[in-house]
Amino acid sequence: MSDRSLAKDSLQPKSFSFNKENAAWAKKRIALYPKGRQQSAVIPLLMRAQDQESWVSRAAMEKIADMLKMPYIRVLEVATFYTQFQLKPVGTRAHVQVCGTTPCMLRGAEDLRAVCQKKIHASPHQTNASGTLSWEEVECLGACVNAPMVAIGHDTYEDLTPERLEEIIDEFEAGRGDEVMTGPQNGRVFSAPLSGMTTLLEVPQHEPAKPAKAPRKTGPKAAPGPGAGAVKPSGGTLFARPEGEADDLKMISGVGPVLEKKLNAFGVTRFDQVAKLTKKDIAALDAALNFKGRIERDDWVKQARALSRGVDEYERVFGKKPK
Ligand code: FES
């Protein structure tokens, strides 16, 4: 059973407020609920507070209670019930959640836990000396077929070996967490068999076989994952690579060198292409990049729209220079 007590007073900040962007998001979120039901926004608001600060302080709970006109104890009950909410400060660069439930345990979760103990701290919920990393053991995170796995933030890293987890932790510690490939780490696509497909091998008569155009990290034998066959951004399996010089897509916050390379491989090389992505394109790219939700979360489209008009426009829209 996990310890759900709040952090000691000396660790609690005196106050909490959402930053400008999150405050606007919270206002919109609260407005989604029918009149008199605004308290239903408590979980999304707590999660947003955690995304902003890495954990949920008592001040954040009280602020959210005030925003939703709830008694403090009601928000405290929610935050302490769900183990997704971190009630104590966690590593500023990564909080590693190691799944320790049976399938992951049988496939090596204990070795992953040992890596965390060696590289971060002997005990869970404690930060390393520089305060940048922390870890904990959690129950099943729903990726059992790709066991063993860990979650860091909103992403999962699956089919892990202790060596690969060490590398991933090093990347986060070096501030390059955004560049680490999410999902399976052994080259397979989603949860497709590493050795290639064993069923559904025939191509249906009415659908002529098309050559696979998307580059795969899994080598020639890898089979497409459940979503991969359905991935069809508008304009075909790949985007048509535009003429002319490629833009530096890394200027989009959330895109690092690895992602830029993948986007280029899918034919996306320019800001104006990203700016025009439709919902369908985004869903397809999400699936192809194995990067669920991040395109929308980091608002690549809005960023790219501004960048396609110039750095000044980006600065005007976001109040800061692009990376
Ligand atoms: S048992 Fe580890 S993800 Fe389900």
DSSP assignment of 145-199 equals GG-S-EEETTEEEES--HHHHHHHHHHHHTT-GGGSPPEESSS--TTS-TT---S
- 131-140, 153-162, 169-178, 268-277: the lowest-pLDDT one: 268-277
Distance 144 CA to ligand 1 centre (A): 4
Which atom of ligand 1 lies closest to the CA of 140? 4
Nearest Cα neighbor of 154 from 82, 284, 258, 51 is 51
Domain ranges of the chain: 9-81, 94-184, 228-318
**What average pLDDT does the chain have?**
86
CATH H superfamily, domain 94-184? Glutaredoxin (3.40.30.10)
Contacts with 142 (C-beta within 8 Å, 6 or more apart), sequence order: none
Span from the CA of 139 to the centroid of ligand 1 (angstroms): 7
Question: Is it true that 9-81 and 94-184 share their CATH fold?
Answer: no
| C-alpha to C-alpha distances, 140 to 98, 104, 145, 184, 305, nearest whole angstrom | 9, 8, 11, 16, 39
CA 252/CA 242 separation, integer angstroms: 18
| Rounded Cα gap, residues 309 and 195, in angstroms | 46
Q: For residue 236, name the pLDDT band (cuts at 50, 70, 90).
A: very low
User: Contact 159/149 with Cβ under 8 angstroms?
Assistant: yes
Between 209 and 147, residue with greater pLDDT: 147
Task: Tell me how far apart the alpha carbons of residues 186 and 109 are, in angstroms, rounded to a whole number.
Answer: 16
What pLDDT was estimated at residue 209?
52
What distance in angstroms lies between residue 106's CA and the mean position of ligand 1's atoms? Answer: 10
Q: How far is the CA of 150 from the centre of ligand 1 (A)?
A: 9
Nearest to 86 by CA among 46, 59, 133: 46
- Which of 111, 144, 150, 156, when mutated, tests ligand 1's pocket best, judged by the most ligand atoms within 8 Å of its CB? 144
| Paired tokens of 281 | 């394109």
- How far apart CA 242 and CA 291 sit, in angstroms, is 23
pLDDT digits (tens, 9 = 90+) for 5-35: 999 999 999 999 999 999 999 999 999 999 9
Residues 189-203, mean pLDDT to the nearest whole number = 79
Question: Residues lining ligand 1, judged by CB closer than 6 Å?
Answer: 99, 101, 103-104, 140-144, 147, 149
Lowest mean pLDDT among 81-95, 102-116, 211-225, 238-252: 211-225
- pLDDT-based confidence at 226, cuts 50/70/90? very low
What angle is formed at CA 85 by the lines to CA 84 and CA 87, rounded to 5 degrees?
140
Residue 238 has pLDDT above 60, yes or no: no
- Is residue 230's pLDDT more than 50? no
CATH code of the domain occupying 9-81: 1.10.10.1590
Residues 16 and 66: their CA atoms lie apart, in Å, by 12
**72-99 burial, b if ≥16 CB within 10 A, otherwise e?**
eeebbebbeeeeebbbbbbbebbbbbbb
Length of the chain: 323
